Each structure stands twice: as C-alpha cells, then as structure tokens.
Structure 1
C-alpha cells in the first residue's frame, strides 16, 4: 500500500510499484493499466498523482499511451518493428503477426510468489500435496553402488533410460496407447517434448492450429519459433470442427496441438465423435496431431484420447510428471509413429543431447513398484474434495462457471475485466490467471482460470468479492 512519507513521494511509490511489476513480467506486455480515475480510487490518491506516475512510466519506456484507450505495457522495445495483422479466414479476430504472446507472467508467478498465500492463478498443485517418502527411496536405489559413478560419468541413452521407456510403454498400454519402448523418447519435461515435435515437423512461417482458450506457454513457444498460430475455439465436446475445416482449406496447416483430457483452462474432455472427425480431417489434409496429456494422472483412464483411436498413425502423444510428482526432476516424454522416431530423436540430440538417466531410473522405480499409481489416487481424492469446496466458495462470491468444474482448473466468468482485477489482486498478495493470457490475440476478458487446490480459502474469496464490487462500480 502507498504511504505518505518524506522519503518518497506518492507519485514515485506508484510509479515504482508498476515499474517493478512490468520488469518482473508480473504485468504482461500488452496489459492495460487501470484508468487514471480507477487507479486513483484504488490507491486512495489524487488523479494528478496517477497522471504524474504514468508520465514517469512513459518516460522510462515501460508503457505507451493509446488514444481513447488508455495506458498499456509496451509490447516491444522502442523502435522495434511490428508485423501487420492478418485476418482469420473465419472472419474472427485478426491474428497478430509476430506479436509476443505473453506466458512469462504466469510462469514467473510459479517461481516468484506474490506472497505466502495460496495462489489462485497457479498451474501446479501445492507442495504439501506432492510431498512423499518414496521418491527419496527411489533416488537412493538409482544411485546405489556403481550406478551413481556410471550414470554421472557418461551421457545417458539418446532415447532415454530403457527401464523407464519400458515402464512408460506398459503405462501407455493400460490407457490404450499402443507404444513400444522403441517409439518412446524421454525429454526435459513435457514442454521440451512439444518443442521437439514442433522443431522437427515445422519450419518458420508454417501455420499451426492451437486450441483457444489454450495454454499460454504454447502460444508463446510457437510464436518464438516463428510459426503462424491459427486459434481454434475449444468447445465442450472438442475443437470447433468448422473452423478447423476452413483453416485446412485456406492454409494447409502442418500440425494441430490439442489437450484432449482436462483441457487447460476449461477442463473440457474430448468426445469420441469429435475425436473421430479431427482424425478424419488430419487424414484428408495431411497434418499431424500432437496430443498433450499432461493431466493424465488425475484424469479418468477411459477418457477419449486421439492417440488411442488413431494408434499413433498421425498422432504424437506427449506427457510428463511435473504436475503430479516431481516438478524439478523435469522428466517428460513423447510417443510417436515409428516413421517419425529417428527424426524426433535427431531433433532431441541437437537440442539437449541426452537426458539425465539417474532421475529417469528413479522414476521407473516409482512406476514399477506402484508408488506413482497410489500417489495419484490420493491426489485425485484430495482434489475432488478441494474442488467441491472451491466451487461452492466461487459461486457464493458471484462467479459463474463457463465449463463444468472438473480436473485441476475452473474456467469462471467474473463479470469484470480480469486483467485489471489481476493488478489489484497483486496488491493483496494474490496472483490471478486472467482470461487474456489464454487468448492467442490477448483479447480482454471477464474470464479467469482458478486452481481448485489453491482456492479453498474463504479469505481469498472475501478479498476477491470486495475488489470485484469496487471495480464494477
């Protein structure tokens, strides 16, 4: 909170508050600052103080003023060129060319806690949920005797530890995904698996279909690689098939990136009918599908997966263990059609050489001994209880669930601009995930994603209700 002091003026305090958040990326590029009157009311200062603070931010090159619209965090360094907008073929919002889709605000929030309070915008489970005793035992086993010396002094296997790949093949077979160990490649987390697929299949300028709303990191990653992002609206049963068909006719995309089960941020699960139609489009138009199954450990085993229906013909399966077990182990993997495996392996080797085999061996032990399965069952039961409490509190606070609450995340309508709400909530020590972060074109939104595990605290919802009521006035 701003305080009157002889050491620093209110103007300087306010300017420094915004500057710190912009430089730490807690305020994303392209974010709109509160209007002068709104900021003055929020901070309890005069409008002239806000104008002077915004002038300082302008002078520092951190924000820009847009006529009749307000002040925005600069999207590029001064003098950097901006590409022209390109219209989407379905007549929707224009797709910004070369714009910086901002995911770092959300990512940095994972590592830079706004406070010691539970963070509603977080994408991970609470640390105490992940804590267990079997991981340490598995690491001791993997490093016993000569294993530590041999694994430390040599590079790991190019494809990944064979024991882990065999364990993963059995795990995937249980889901119905037909992947032999020779079709599985381990990676540094699921994010690198997605990156390996993109670098192997695509070249700069290639069109890629991605679900919207969608994972902001995926938008940012593809944009950084120079790909043309084609956002496909995600509906309850699956992607908007009409939009996909028009993209196929107009742009001949090379890849479709999808989260079939517990889609982030909506929680939607793919229906069998939609899955069949997507696979038909892939066959007709020659594109591949990468299915990100990051939330498989908390999802129903019978959930529809395109890799199961397709048998890894035009599909590539991607998953990891950061969400359920060991975020810092950074173990992910992909399962691919046999014809693509060698090219995918070459791409991995050029990117990171090999992956650390010690932790891969420890993970294989956790899988083979059933410890991961039992741990996931406990997490699912705990999450079900948390979801019930969180949904009740959210509805009492006036939130409307746009999608049926399932999985880890809730997709809720607040009725107010959530980017502005997120800025105010930071003052209270809470990091939100506003809807604009899940839009390829960063469209303003009244939606936000909440983490059910981190929104069970009634104190958060009281603060939320107070600020929403103030913003709505």
Structure 2
C-alpha cells in the first residue's frame, strides 16, 4: 500500500497490480461502501498507465463483486459483505443514520456510506508504518512509561493476582479506583462521591451504557456537528433519531437547540439527550464558555433532557476549563471520561459519574453487558493516580503536544492550508481547498490515511475540510506528499 507507482518488472501485469491494490483497500475497509473510484482518465493519469489498463482492472473488480458500475456515473465500492440479491429475504439492511434536518418540521433518512467499523478499521489499520495524520490517538511511543508496569506488578504480588482472577469484582468498579476518581473530580470542581461513579470498559462503553439506559428505539438525541461519526453510527444502531446541533466556539448553537425543543415539546419526538464534547471538542478544539454552559443547563431543565458530557480529552485540556458538570453538580449531567487517550489504550478503563438516582439503572445496564470490569487493571490505575504519576505523565504529554502542534501548524500553513478554528489540543481543523474524500484516496498510495471532513458531519456531504492529529502531522515528508496530491487534483480536468 505504500508503493507510489505500479511495478513494471514483476510477473504481475499492471492490470493485476492495479486491481489488487483497490481490492486490498476495499477488503481492509479503507474504501467504504459507496465510495466512488477515480474516473478511468483520472486513474490512468495517477498511476501512469493507459486507460485500457484501468478499464481492465475495474472489470476484474466487477467480476470479484467488489465494485458496481452505475450508468453514466462511474464505478462505486459495493457492500461485498451483504448477502446476494438472489436471496432478498435474507438480505442485510443497509446501514443508515436517522437524521432530523435543521428544519425542525422535516426529517430525512441518510444512507451512510461508511460505518463505525469502517472508521475504526481505517483509523487504526492504515497499512503503513508511517505516522498517520488522520489518527485519533497519541503515538504509542509517546505513551511508553515505566510506572504502569510497576503498579501492575505491585497489585499482582502475593495473593493479589489470584484474588482478582478467581472471583468477579465489584460490578460498580474497584472501590479504591472509584474513591480516587471521586476525589479527582471534586478537585476539578465536579462534586461527586464514590457511590456516583461507575467504571466501564473505556469511555465508549460509558456512552453506550448511558444511551441504553436512558433511551429507547425511536427517541431523539441532539448531537454536535461537526462531531465524531462513530457516535452518530452507534446511536443510529440503537434506533435513535439524531438532531445535528452546530458547534460554535463558545459551545453548542443554543438557538438551534431551543428550536428543536420548542417545536417538539409535548410530543414523542421531544429530545431526550444531548451528547457533547465540551472541552477540546473533536475535531474543532473548541472549549465551552461558562455562559454557554449556564444557558445549556437552563434549556435542559426547561425541556427535561439530560446532558452527556464526554470529557475524553480532559488530561490534555487547559487548567480551569469549564465543564457543564461543574455548574450542574451532577443533577442533569452525566460525566464520562477515560484513560485511553493519555495512558493505556489497551487497558480499556473508563468511567461515568451520574446523579444518584441514575446509578442503579446504569449499573443494571452494565451488568447486562459486561458483568464487571477488570479489577487488577483498575487497582493498578488507582495507584498511578494516587502516586501522582498520571498527573506528571499528563504534564509531559501536554508539553510534548504543544511543541508538535507548533511544528504541525507551521507545516500546514506552509502547505497552503487554512485553520478554520484556532489550533488547540490534539486536533487541527483545516481547509485544504479540495475535496478531502478524493484527496484521502490519492494519499493512500503514499501510505497516509487522512480524516476527511465528511466523516464529521451527519449529512456526509463533500467537504474541503480535514482533521489532522498534531502529534502525527509534524513530518515535512507528509506535507510534501499532501501538496503533490492536492496540486494534481487542482490541475486535473
């Protein structure tokens, strides 16, 4: 996949190489169902082959059932995992989001050309060992540290390993870790007791537990746009209707939220939940203002919906950043966070803090899905937090990220990109001037995986925007490949 050109000195023909390259990307989910292949002319110019070679390669893909030809429109990736059309009663339903338009009186169905699994496969399995500018996490080498192994060894000594292995742990989570988390939340200005904390298998499971507990299929959920498509797809898979709320620098567009609530008041379509990344929002980097947080809570109280505050990036956030849960005292807010982004992705430890009345229902949902969470890892994490090792590690990560952000911003601007939002946190939200879906396909040949702007919009429309990871987008060789690909697109007829 990292090859820049097709090879002319091999036993494989150019047609076979080109078809194999596309087939590999489709099977690895780097080209999602619904993706349009380059036109024959564009593909021939890109790979320096004749149009007849491209036609023959596309014919091979058609024969393998990986693409479909649409009359006068070109070739598109088909969902090759679905059952054949000859068995309509067994046909799997196409993935789709249930989206309510910005006009509160109108709803529409959107067939999603990309699924949550496609996103995750693409984001974490790029097919190249180069730093990936579209990644959603810090590089693994940044997270290396000696203290996690030491903590795990300490809690495993004596009967620790045996006791944590032969019986289930506390369904609500290890008592020591819940106490430590409650103390840290209180220091952060979020008044919580250990009884209000439930540990989870990562922040993603915490979000899922909340959704399954508070919602039923057909309920309406307000989500931020731009936002993360995995969350869109997850809620859609549960049968929810989504209302996109534009994300502004100060917070969600409260006027849009108020219109949604007022026009649906007293009906089954009234919003039940609002999901927000209030601090270092993904992908914009925006942080919530105190005034917006206060008005959001007033709206939630008036229209009787809960706020789910996903604080996934809080270890990278500036001191004294505003959280909704700080002002709310965990009355209408459910606070969610985890440690995958900063410390131990594979440990999969997250948590939620909720109003006391919701703890038992949330715990019931956790029991029905995973029973308990890994006690040994939770005890080791508690030690890392108590001994201030996590805090010192986070401080090092923030300093390292700040330096990487400076270099990435310089490179992006030198490459002719414009930052749509002020650079902050882990991600940059930039305008490239070209369709980033098409750009992403071109850069796969150079071994780079992008995060095109269309991924972050529920309507999945073409976009010139792109999210970059400051930690992995600071290498000049990526930006050189980026400029070559973009210049080729600009010059293309």
TM-score per shorter chain, which class? over 0.9
Q: Secondary structure at the match of 2:271?
A: coil
Whole-angstrom distance in 2 between the partners of 1:358 and 1:242: 47
Report the Cα distance in structure 2 between the residues aligned to 1:14 and 1:91, rounded to whole angstroms.
47
1:266 CA drift (Å)? 0.8
Task: Select between 224-233 and 182-191 the one with higher mean Cα deviation.
Answer: 224-233
Matches within 5 A, 1:315-334: 315-334=333-352
SS in 1 for 2:242: strand
The residue number in structure 2 matching 1:402 is 420
Distance in 1 between residues matched to 2:65 and 2:105, nearest whole Å: 32
Farther off after superposition, 183-192 or 37-46: 37-46
Match of 1:102 in 2: 115
State the Cα deviation string for residues 248-307 of structure 1 (Å, max 9, x = none). Answer: 223311111100000011111111222222212211211111100000001023111111
The CA deviation at 1:180 is 0.6
1:20 maps to 24
Per-residue Cα deviation, 1:149-175 (whole angstroms, up to 9, x for no partner): 111101111100000000000111111
Distance 1:167 1:344 in 2: 20
Partner of 2:163: 150
Worse-superposed segment, 351-360 or 30-39 = 30-39
Residue of structure 1 in register with 2:88 after alignment: none
Q: CA shift at 1:419, angstroms?
A: 1.1
Deviation at 1:224, TM superposition (A): 1.7
- Tell me what 2:248 maps to: 235
Q: Does 1:357 align with 2:386?
A: no
Mapping for residues 43-442 of structure 1, pairs under 5 Å: 43-74=47-78, 77=82, 79=85, 80=91, 88-90=101-103, 95-97=108-110, 99=112, 101-248=114-261, 249-250=263-264, 251-442=269-460
5+ long unaligned stretches in structure 2? 86-90
Specify the SS of the correspondent of 1:164: helix
- Whether the 8 Å CA contact 1:139–1:358 is kept in 2: the answer is yes
The worse-fitting range, judged by mean Cα deviation, of 225-234 and 114-123 is: 225-234
Contact 1:401–1:413 (8 Å) recurs in 2: yes
Question: Per-residue CA shift, 1:127-169, capped at 9, x if unaligned?
Answer: 1211111111100111011111111101111100000000000
- Cα distance in 2, alignment partners of residues 182 and 139 from structure 1: 25
Q: How does 1:30-41 map to 2 (within 5 A)?
A: 30-41=34-45
Residues 186-195 or 38-47, more deviating? 38-47
Instruction: Report the CA distance shift for 1:286/1:24 in structure 2 as closer, same or farther (over 3 A).
Output: same
- d(CA) in 2 for partners of 1:42, 1:166: 58
Please, what is the CA RMSD of the aligned residues?
A: 2.1
Q: Is the 8 A contact 2:221 2:271 kept in 1?
A: yes
Any idea what the Cα deviations from partners look like across 1:336-374, whole Å, max 9, x if unmatched? 010100000000000000001000000000000000000
Residue aligned with 1:319, SS: strand
Provide TM-score, normalisation by structure 2.
Answer: 0.91
Per-residue CA distance 1:99-121 (angstroms, 9 max, x = gap):
46523344224542431211101
Shift of 1:6: 6.6
User: Does structure 2 retain, via aligned residues, the 8 Å contact 1:58–1:64?
Assistant: yes
Partners of 2:220 and 2:113 lie apart in 1 by 16
Counterparts of 2:389 and 2:334, CA distance in 1: 27
Any conservation in 1 of the 2:137–2:341 contact (CA below 8 Å)? yes
Normalising by the residue count of structure 1, what TM-score does the alignment of the two structures yield? Answer: 0.95
Give the Cα separation in 2 of the matches to 1:97 and 1:197: 25
- Rounded to whole Å, the distance in 2 between the matches of 1:141 and 1:455 is 37
Question: Greater shift after overlay, 133-142 or 30-39?
Answer: 30-39
Structure 1 range deviating more: 98-107 or 335-344? 98-107
The 3-state SS of whatever aligns with 2:221 is strand
